[in-house]
Amino acid sequence: MVEPGTFPDEEAEVDAFIARLKVGGEPGASLPWFDPAEPFVVARAPGRLDVMGGIADYSGSLVLQRPIREAALAAAQHDPAPGLRIVSLAADGGPARTLAIDGGTLDRFFNEGCGAARDWFAARPDDHWGSYIAGVVVVLARDGGAPPGGGLRVVIDSQVPEAKGVSSSAALEVAAMSAIAGLLEVPLSGEQTALLCQKAENQVVGAACGIMDQMTAAVGRSGSLLALLCQPAEVQGFIRPHESIGFWGIDSGIRHAVTGGDYTSVRIGAFMGYRILAELQGLPTAGPNRAGLMWVDDERWSGRLANVDPAEFVSRFAELLPRTMRGDAFLAQYGGTTDPATRVDPSRTYAVRWPATHAVHEHNRVVRFAALLAYEPDDDLLGELGEMMATSHESYSICGLGSDGTDLLVDLVRAAGSDAGLFGAKITGGGSGGTVAVLGRADAGDEVARIARTYEERTGRPAHVFSGSSAGAEAFGVRRVPR
């Protein structure tokens, strides 16, 4: 576990959090369970702006992710009483949310696995917010070899807004995992932290997310784009854009959720498409196994649509993929998919051709986008980057992951154009609302703010602007607070 680096803004944020814990944990104060007289460990993890790649992460795409300034903070402390006690501080200073899981229940999660924890939270929807923290505790105990050996107290305080498509859940998970691992003295790399957190979100929270969110929160670098090849989590480097280039996020005010049906159905459709491609290519298959998963012996594409050549896809496969297919017909013909995070619903009809097409082409757009960022930017180069963002945005919409609000924001950026220093915008993350990423000259911040105000006036929805960046959890390290 890395100790704190030198990040003045982030350090000041953590100082304020610790001060709040010290005061709030005193007798008679508003923070239950926490004991400021006992040692604790604090970690911090940022949200992220999805510049390019988005939903293609689960198909093995290259993605470009920028950590944002807003972050989640977590404090972990031993508790003499068995079990897990979670406190979530309110951003507005209001009453904290609390959840206590007794020692017997937590031990059952450790023994029976993530499914037991997922079922427990499914029966308690009002407490589902706590599944993000409980999930990392369960996964760390089972896969990280670190059962707490007693009780745990975890306090979280997040400035990453929920349901805005900037990965508030991954920020929470990575901050909590980092703090708990630090408390238990478990040495985890940033990549290990991210993979464990993704498992917690997939198998306890029940969200079929890819890996890019957790990786950005864990290993992101302030001001840089994380170039991550999601096969499964290969860091290809950190791209520091030219100082004349700026990226922003504008919140559409439309709630986004990775657990939503549209996101999940598009993911399932993409994996159905891959399974059909494997059959068309004559790849050996077996299954389904007890979990309903197929096995494909794929030395050509390594099981990922991102590795399919776009020209070959168009010439050989695209027209052979069904536009849509009912789940029961697919299961009868192909047995299942290779995706461990989702299940095909026999009674549902899925789009297949376009989700698969998006994954194949998005990877190649991101590769080109990353390559262009290595050059001195002029208007032509920025214009090409903007066109790739526009194409990605349109592809989301065809997949069924667009929204009127994000379309309007993209149109407003396009209308402002290069004369205003703006070159492109696109929907981000899981789509269906959330935040739009904006590309422009570094001095175009006032124009971005003007567009946000125009959007608010037209729609009546608040449009928060995300600007700035901050360090990921691994670079920042942990803060150990002694007695």
CA angle 359, 360, 364 (to 5 degrees): 105
- Strand ranges (E), 185-282: 225-229, 234-239, 245-251
- Cβ atoms within 10 Å of 391's Cβ, excluding its own: 15
Helix (H) / strand (E) element for 460: namely: none
Query: Which of 152, 176, 153 is CA-nearest to residue 71?
Result: 176
Strands 465-466 and 285-286: unpaired
Tokens of 355: 């989700």
A 10 A CB-CB count for 202 gives 21
Give the Cα-Cα-Cα angle 16, 17, 23 (nearest 5 degrees): 90
Please tell me the distance from the alpha carbon of residue 263 to that of residue 253, in angstroms, as a whole number.
18
**Which residue among the candidates 50, 157, 213, 339 is catalytic per the annotation?**
213
Is 251 designated active site? no
Helix-, strand-, coil-residue percentages of the chain, each rounded to 5:
45, 20, 35
Closest by alpha carbon to 139, among 214, 87, 179, 195? 195
Active site residues: 213
